[in-house]
Amino acid sequence: MIVCDTGPLVSALNRGEGRRHRFAAELLAHAGRRVLVPWPVFVETDLLLRFRGHRQAATAFGRALADGVHRLETPSDSELATSLDLAERYADSDVDLPDLAVMSMAASRNAPILTWDFRHFRSVVLHRGHHWELVVEENELPTP
């Protein structure tokens, strides 16, 4: 299982991102049902795509999730509690609930994370010495 953040989903759905679009689309297609999309990430992806003028891509993504291309899941009560604990601990940062849901779901499911948001996923930790297992490192990410 791979817990997916918003960035790779938006890249996979936005052909205008060129090489990054192809990279994300191939990664997600290869992983298929192993990709878990947290409900807050689905909402954020939909909002970003629609805001950027990609209404059809937003709807197509929602239909793909409904058809089971990837797994859409709501954070459990304990995962939500972990997200909120992290939100309190990192209140001075601009980390948002979708990122925190990805983190808490990855932690409880012992799963790697697919994200382009290296800043947040390097600065927010569960405990001292902890780091998130990332599917893609910053130096592997193609420029858009």
The CATH number that applies at residue 60 is 3.40.50.1010
Q: How many folded domains does the chain comprise?
A: 1
Tell me, yes or no, whether 141 lies in a domain: no
Give the model confidence (pLDDT) of 104-121 as tens digits: 999 999 999 999 999 999
Print the domain residue range for 122.
Answer: 2-135
Within a domain: 107: yes
Q: Say if 140 falls within a structural domain.
A: no
Q: What is the pLDDT of residue 137?
A: 95
Residue 35 half-sphere exposure toward CB, CA atoms < 13 A: 25
pTM above threshold 0.75: yes
CA dihedral 139, 123, 94, 142 (to 10 degrees): 10
Is 142 among the domain residues? no
Is 143 inside a domain boundary? no
